[in-house]
Structures are given as structure tokens and as C-alpha cells.
Structure 1
Amino acid sequence: MRIKELLERDDAVSPVIGVILMVAITVILAAVIASFVLNLGDQAQQQTPTVSFDFEYDSSGSGTVSITHASGDSLDRGRIAVSGPGITYDETNWPSTTVSAGDTYSASSSDDFEEGDVVRITWTAESGGSSSTLAEFEVPSDSEDA
């Protein structure tokens, strides 16, 4: 009779296994939710490019700012933007779809640039979740050389 009783009683194993499974599922679920909330997956893949731009202000008549990619990483022209007072950015004014060393963009303002105006180049990550200012240029007075 004792053997039959032992074979039929398995209630001690079942609760222990159930608790272990519930804890494991809770830990895994918490880790997945935390990675989405903290956006850890995108940060590792989307680093701001290292790039240098040269700016030249032409105060004689045209009043344009020439922006030249001097060195660093090549950029997708769809991921960068040129902004400033009165600037309407048109990415097709870059010589190619990939902006690399030597490429020049000519920015003009509908309001004419004035001393102290700031022209910025910003980069937006592929996910659109973050952006960074790559370079800034302050328009000098007409008497200064840029």
C-alpha cells in the first residue's frame, strides 16, 4: 500500500517547477520591456558620424554660405539638413546622394544673411529617433574675412 501511495503523490515537485518557470518568465519579460523602453538596441547601431565641414561666406553680392565636406565619414544626403534664417534646404543641391569629402552645398537665405546668423548642419538617425548638430557657422560682418 505504501508503494501505491508514493506513485500517486507528485504534488511536491509540481509547485517548485511552477515557481521556477514563473520567475524565469518574469525576468525575461522585464528584460525585453526594459530594452524597448530604454531604446538600447538602437543606440548601439546608430552612432553620430564623425565629420568636418568648412564654411565660406561670400558677402559680395550673392550673400551665400558655401558648405564643404572637409573630412570624415560619408553621409547620406537624406539624413542631413542645412538650417538657418531664411534657408530652404534642398538635399538635391548636393552633387550626389552620398555626401563625401570635397562635396559642396551652397546655402542662400531668402532674408539675406546678417551678421550673427547661424547656419547649422544636422544629422538625423535612420530611425528618426535622434538627431545631432554636426557643425555650426556664424555669419561674420561684411568687413571680416570668413
Structure 2
Amino acid sequence: MDLTKYRQKLIGSEEERAVSPVIGVILMVAITVILAAVIAAFVLDIGDDLGDSSVNAAVTVDEDGTDVTVTVSDMGDADGVVLTDDDGQIIGESEVLTTTGTSNTHSLTSGDGYIVYAYIGSTTTASSFSDTESLESQVDTLTAVSEGEV
């Protein structure tokens, strides 16, 4: 009984046998590259800041009795800075601060809380904001940069 004929059918010729290891190596390299890319994406936090970024602005808040003075030290990436009460309503006819170095002083009632917000959005005047809608719904991105109570 001659088994060489069956051996060639099962194992293949010398030329055919080399194909399987080459494909195996290519697949292993591809899997390693994909795995490295996924791990790098998690470690380097790539793609995490898609829309959920905060607004950066530097402000100084000075309290003198019931007067609160908000001064913009650096606008960062903010389009405006505004002073609101605890409910998010703009205090008085507060001017929206839109440039570095500008400031506003507002008189509050003793015991009132306030929040200074930096925002990204096209609204640049206090009168453009609606009293019936929340401040957050009127701007693209909103971040509280300071808060306190007089």
C-alpha cells in the first residue's frame, strides 16, 4: 500500500504548505496592531472630548458687603461671563463680560447666593437672554467658574 499519494493530499506539496504560516503571521500582526490601537485610544483618552468640554475662563470675584465685583482676568475659550442668582437668572441688567480686563459691580441682598458662569455661545448682551428659559438652554456650553453668598 502506497501512502505517499494520500500524504500529498492531506498535507499538500512543499509549495502549498508555506501559505498557511504566512497567513497566520499576517493575521497575528494585524490583530496586534488593532489591539495596540484600541489600548492607545483608552490610555491617551482619544475621542473623549467630543462635545462634553467645559469652558475655561479666569475671573476674580470681590465681595464688599453686599456688592459683588466680577473681573475677567482671562477669557480663555469663553465667549462671555455672566453673574446669576442661585436659580440661574441673570442678576439685574447685568452686562455680559466679553473681554479680558472688564468688570461689573452688582448690589445683592444680604444672604443671596450668586454664581458666575462662563459660556460658549453667540449671545453677548444681557438683554438677549430670555428670563423664561434657563441660561443653560440658551448657550452652547456653560460652566460655573465661581460661586458664593453675600
What's the TM-score once normalised by structure 2's chain length? 0.51
Q: Which residue of 2 aligns with 1:89?
A: 90
Q: Which residue of 1 aligns with 2:116?
A: 121
Contact kept in structure 2, 1:46 and 1:125, CA below 8 Å: no
Contact kept in structure 2, 1:95 and 1:103, CA below 8 Å: no
76, 79, 87: which is aligned to 1:76? 79
Cα distance in 1, alignment partners of residues 88 and 106 from structure 2? 10
User: Superposed, which structure 2 residues align to 1:51-70 within 5 Å?
Assistant: 51-56=59-64, 65-69=67-71
2:14 pairs with 1:6: yes
Q: Which residue of 1 aligns with 2:7?
A: none
Unaligned runs of 5+ in 1: 59-64, 140-146
- Other structure's SS at 2:114 match: strand
**Cα shift at 1:99:** 3.5
User: Superposed, which structure 2 residues align to 1:20-31 within 5 Å?
Assistant: 20-31=29-40
What is the aligned length?
A: 116
Cα distance in 2, alignment partners of residues 20 and 8 from structure 1? 21
Unaligned runs of 5+ in 2: 1-12, 122-139
2:141 pairs with 1:138: no
What's the TM-score once normalised by structure 1's chain length? 0.52
2:72 pairs with 1:104: no
- Other structure's SS at 1:8 match: helix
RMSD: 4.1
Cα distance in 2, alignment partners of residues 30 and 138 from structure 1? 46
Distance change (3 Å), C-alpha of 1:131 and 1:86: closer
- Other structure's SS at 1:12 match: helix
